[in-house]
Amino acid sequence: MATMTRIHLLSMPSSLRHKSSCVESLKRLPDTSSILPSFSSSAFIPQREKKNFRRLVVVAVSMADLPTVLVTGAGGRTGQIVYRKLKERTNQYVARGLVRTKDSKEKIGGADDVFVGDIRDSNSIVPAIQGIDALIILTSAVPKMKPGFDPSKGERPEFYFEDGAYPEQVDWIGQKNQIDAAKAVGVKQIVLVGSMGGTDLNNPLNSLGNGNILVWKRKAEQYLADTGIPYTIIRAGGLQDKEGGVRELLVGKDDELLQTETRTIARSDVAEVCIQALQFEESKFKALDLASKPEGTGTPTKDFKVLFSLISTRF
């Protein structure tokens, strides 16, 4: 007598969470044309199973149609926000995250869609990038303050970068590795978040730990712009841990916003612009400086298509 395997919605294979393997997983499912009709006449398969199976196929096919977006630096303060926002939009995206350590993975929930890898090692990031449609790069070298700083004595803090974690290694080589890997899998768009100030070699950020961080960020941005991959380069102003969606956003070019009083932006607003950049053709092949008006002045930005249309600068 023929046997039939019961398929429960809750037992959906984890591979169906990722578009790259969703199609192959569907191929391994039983042929619905032969199974579903048999449900109606089989005394061994309850009505609940028929509904669950149909729901499984519908969910799997729907997820296969959604773009898979990888957020690198998902353990960082801005990266966490982008990853969380993507996870909340289950009808639009399949979210993935890349972090450097297992501790960082646990910090953002420890989900199966969070990969652990080191962007300085191109091989270690391949599993996370396989099958993605878009990449949002939020990795960055982070300077550390030298101990012994005493502001009460009028001292100025000194900074350093850990061995192997200088901007050249993280913001240049690490970002280049990500761009190359994404290009190899045919990614459709890359959003890269950098910082304003890169037009000035004497910008104070370059002196932190003698890392020339803006120089190396700018080098990675130019590399991305030269690949031919549709890109959006977002050079954010001073990042603030404030509520997003309540300010009027400002875009500019060539650090012109640094000459104004509006040079800061909430991390949550940067995160939202990253995701909105995936939705509009007006965002592609563009580089923009990003800041915001103070809360309570201007009109909170809601039309991101218009926002991206204000900029025509390719680099």
64-106 confidence digits (pLDDT tens): 689 999 999 999 999 999 999 999 999 999 999 999 999 999 9
Helical segments of 42-134, H only: 47-65, 77-88, 102-107, 126-129
Whole-number Å distance between alpha carbons of 273 and 288: 11
| pLDDT over 60 at 4, yes or no | no
Work out the pLDDT band at 254, boundaries 50, 70, 90. Answer: very high
What pTM, to 2 d.p., does this model score?
0.81
Number of domains in the chain: 1
* CA pair distance 292, 132, nearest whole angstrom: 31
The CATH number for 117's domain is 3.40.50.720
Does the pLDDT value for residue 43 go beyond 80? no
**Does 55 fall in a domain?**
no
| Percent above pLDDT 90 for the chain | 76
Catalytic residues: 195
Assigned domain for 122 exists: yes
pLDDT in the model for residue 46: 58
The pLDDT-based confidence of 128 (bands split at 50, 70, 90) is very high
Domain extent, residue 102, equals 68-310
- H-helix or E-strand spanning residue 275: helix 267-276
Which range (36-40, 55-59, 225-229) has the least confidence? 36-40
Q: Establish if 215 belongs to a structural domain.
A: yes
**Phi, psi angle pair for 245, to nearest 5°:** 80, 10
- Whether pLDDT at 221 is above 80: yes
Whether 7 and 56 have beta carbons less than 8 Å apart is answered as: yes
Q: Report the half-sphere exposure of 63 (CA within 13 A, side-chain side).
A: 26
Asked whether the predicted pLDDT for residue 267 surpasses 60, the reply is: yes
Does residue 25 form part of some domain? no
Q: Return the pLDDT at 61.
A: 44
